[in-house]
C-alpha cells in the first residue's frame, strides 16, 4: 500500500530546440522511499479540439522556405499576380496567412491547423491559469464546429451544452467552413457579456438557440470528495501542466484519511498534455507495463512504459463517456489493459492521433498530426472509441438543454423550449399529459404545482425565477441519480473484496 505521496516541482525551465532536439528533464513523485522518473515530452501532445497543446518556441522561425524550390513557382506566380493586378490593394500578410491556412485545409485533418497571431494568443490564454469565455472544448469536423466537451462548472455546462453538439452560428454568424481557432475568437469574450449559440443536437426536432453569459474559466483540473465508505470520487476535467501534481495532492489527503478505493471520473474530459497522462498512469500501471504505443509515419512502433516501481495498490475504477477524448482515452486504455482496471460508462470519443506544434517568430503557429497512438494491446481507437467494461447510460433527462430564462412559456406556446420544460417537469415527478412542445392545461397545472412546492409565484408561466429553479432542481436530480457513478461504486466495492 502507498502510505504517502509527495510532489516536488521541477524548477528547471523546459527548453525545446527548433529542430525538435529535446533534452529530458527530470521530476518525480515520492512514494515512501521510492521515486519514479518522469521524462518531459513537452513537444508531443495528445489533445482533443483546440486546447492544451505544448508549443515549440525558438528565436528563429520554426519553418524556413527556400524560394528557389520549383514546387513553389505556382504559389509565387499567384501571389505576384494578385499583388500586381487585383483591383483592390491587398495585404501581403493576409495572402501569406491564407496560403498557409489553405495547406492545412487540404490535409482534411481537424486536428491540424494554422493559427495566426490573434488565434495563437487566444489559444495560449486557454492553457494559462484562466481565461474568459463559455468554457467548452470544440473541434472542426467535416466543415462543422462540434463540441467535444464542456468544462466542469463552466457557463457552457450550466447552459446545457453537450458533447457532440454542433454549433451552427455564433450571434447569428455562421461557422460553416471555419476552423476551430476562428470559431474560438467568435465564442470567446469578456466576462459578463452574452453570446448566442445556435445548436444542432441529435434527437432535437429543430436547432436550439442558447444564450450564455461569458465568465472567467479557471483551469483547475482535479476535483474530489470521499464518502463514508472511504471511497474517493475524483474527477479530472482536462490534463494541463499541473494536473498530475493536483491529483497527487488530493490523493495524499485522502490517503491520510483512510482511502480504501478510487473512482476516477474522466467523463467530459477532452484531453490535454500527453506527459501529464503518462505521470498519472504511472501511479496505477505497474512498473514496466505499457501505457501506450506510438506508431510513426515509417511504420515503426515505440512502446511507452510505466517507470513506477511502487505504484498505488488501491482498487480503482474509471468512468468514461462520449466526452472522454484523446489523453483521457490514453489513460483509460492504459489502466484497463495494463492494470486490469474496470471501465464504467459509455463508449469514449475516439481520438487516436498525436499532434506537434511549432511557432513562428511573429507569434503565429502551426500544429499538425505526427503520429498515431495505440493502446497497450496495439488497438487504434481513432473514430471508434473505447468500449467500457460495464456499459451504463445516464437517464435521458440528463441530456436536456437549458431553457432561456428570458423566454415566457405559457398556455398556447408551442416550441422546442416548451418540450424541454415538459420533460424537466416530468423527470421531477409532475404529471404531464404529453411532451410534444405544446403548452397545454396539464403543463400549466404541473407548473403551478412546481411553483407552489418551491414557494414561487403561482401563475403557471415558465419564465425568470421559475425557469432557473426548474433547471436547478433537475441538475440536483441528475447529480443524485448518477447511474454511471452508482455502478462504478458498485463495481469498486467488488474489487475491494478481492
Cell numbers placing 169: 452560428
Place of cell 511557432: 359
Concatenate the DSSP letters of all residues of 334-365 into one string.
Answer: HHHHHH---EEES------EEEEEEE-TTS-E
Strands 231-236 and 261-265: parallel
20 catalytic per annotation: no
Number of other residues whose CB lies within 10 A of the CB of residue 296: 12
To the query of whether residue 326 is one of the catalytic residues in this protein, the response is yes
Catalytic residue among 180, 326, 337, 359: 326
| Exposure string over 435-449, b if 16+ CB within 10 A, otherwise e | bebbbbeebbebbbb
Please state, in angstroms and rounded to a whole number, the distance separating the CA atoms of residues 3 and 184. 44
Contacts of 446 (CB under 8 A, 6+ apart): 422, 425, 430, 431, 432
Residues 442 and 448: their CA atoms lie apart, in Å, by 10
Catalytic, 351? Answer: yes
Residue 80 CB partners (closer than 8 Å, separation 6+):
none
Task: Let me know: does 431 contact 442? Beta carbons within 8 Å.
Answer: yes
The pairing of beta strand 208-213 with beta strand 222-226: unpaired
Which entry of 279, 351, 358, 419 is annotated as an active-site residue?
351
| Residue 127 CA from chain centroid, whole number | 12
Which helix H or strand E contains 291, and what residues bound it?
A: strand 290-295
The residue annotated as part of the active site, out of 355, 356, 364, 451, is 355
Rounded to whole angstroms, how far apart are CA atoms 224 and 246?
Answer: 11
**Separation CA 390–CA 388 (nearest Å):** 5
**Residue positions annotated with a catalytic role:** 326, 351, 355
Amino acid at each position: 500500500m502507498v502510505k504517502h505521496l509527495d510532489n516536488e516541482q521541477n524548477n528547471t525551465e523546459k527548453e525545446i530546440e527548433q529542430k525538435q532536439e529535446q533534452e529530458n528533464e527530470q521530476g518525480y513523485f515520492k512514494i515512501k522511499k521510492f521515486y519514479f522518473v518522469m521524462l518531459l515530452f513537452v513537444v508531443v501532445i495528445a489533445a482533443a479540439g483546440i486546447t492544451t497543446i505544448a508549443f515549440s518556441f525558438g528565436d528563429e522561425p520554426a519553418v524556413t522556405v527556400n524560394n528557389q524550390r520549383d514546387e513553389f513557382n505556382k504559389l509565387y506566380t499567384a501571389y505576384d499576380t494578385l499583388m500586381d493586378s487585383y483591383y483592390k490593394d491587398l495585404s501581403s500578410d493576409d495572402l501569406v496567412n491564407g496560403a498557409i491556412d489553405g495547406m492545412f485545409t487540404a490535409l482534411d485533418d481537424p486536428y491540424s491547423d494554422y493559427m495566426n497571431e490573434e488565434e495563437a494568443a487566444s489559444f495560449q490564454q486557454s492553457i494559462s491559469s484562466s481565461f474568459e469565455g463559455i468554457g467548452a472544448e470544440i473541434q472542426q469536423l467535416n466543415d462543422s464546429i462540434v463540441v467535444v466537451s464542456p468544462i466542469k462548472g463552466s457557463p457552457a455546462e450550466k447552459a446545457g451544452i453537450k458533447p457532440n453538439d454542433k454549433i451552427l452560428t455564433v450571434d447569428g454568424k455562421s461557422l460553416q467552413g471555419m476552423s476551430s481557432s476562428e470559431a474560438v475568437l467568435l465564442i470567446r469574450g469578456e466576462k459578463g457579456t452574452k453570446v448566442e449559440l445556435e445548436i444542432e443536437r441529435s434527437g432535437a426536432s429543430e436547432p436550439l438557440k442558447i444564450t450564455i453569459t461569458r465568465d472567467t474559466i479557471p483551469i483547475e483540473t482535479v476535483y474530489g470528495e470521499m464518502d463514508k465508505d472511504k471511497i474517493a470520487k475524483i474527477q479530472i476535467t482536462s490534463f494541463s501542466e499541473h494536473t498530475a501534481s493536483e491529483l497527487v495532492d488530493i490523493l495524499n489527503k485522502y490517503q491520510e484519511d483512510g482511502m480504501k478505493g478510487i473512482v476516477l471520473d474522466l467523463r467530459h474530459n477532452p484531453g490535454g498534455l500527453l506527459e501529464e497522462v503518462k505521470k498519472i498512469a504511472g501511479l496505477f500501471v505497474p512498473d514496466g507495463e505499457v501505457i501506450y504505443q506510438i506508431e510513426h509515419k515509417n511504420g515503426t512502433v515505440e512502446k511507452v512504459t510505466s517507470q513506477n516501481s511502487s505504484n498505488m495498490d488501491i482498487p480503482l475504477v474509471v468512468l468514461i463517456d462520449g466526452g472522454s477524448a484523446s489523453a483521457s482515452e490514453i489513460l483509460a486504455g492504459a489502466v484497463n489493459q495494463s492494470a486490469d482496471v474496470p471501465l464504467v460508462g459509455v463508449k469514449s470519443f475516439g481520438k487516436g492521433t498525436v499532434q506537434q506544434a511549432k511557432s513562428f517568430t511573429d507569434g503565429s503557429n502551426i500544429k499538425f498530426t505526427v503520429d498515431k497512438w495505440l493502446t497497450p494491446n496495439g488497438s487504434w481507437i481513432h473514430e471508434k472509441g473505447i468500449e467500457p467494461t460495464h456499459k451504463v447510460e445516464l437517464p435521458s433527462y440528463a441530456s436536456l438543454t437549458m431553457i432561456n430564462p428570458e423566454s415566457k412559456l405559457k398556455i398556447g406556446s408551442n416550441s422546442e423550449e416548451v418540450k424541454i420544460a415538459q420533460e424537466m417537469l416530468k423527470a421531477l415527478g409532475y404529471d404531464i399529459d404529453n411532451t410534444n412542445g405544446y403548452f397545454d392545461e396539464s403543463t400549466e397545472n404541473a407548473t403551478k404545482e412546481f411553483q407552489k412546492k418551491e414557494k414561487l409565484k403561482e401563475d403557471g408561466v415558465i419564465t425568470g425565477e421559475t425557469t432557473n429553479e426548474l433547471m436547478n432542481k433537475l441538475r440536483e436530480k441528475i447529480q443524485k441519480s448518477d447511474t454511471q457513478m452508482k455502478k462504478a461504486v458498485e463495481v469498486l466495492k467488488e474489487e475491494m473484496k478481492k
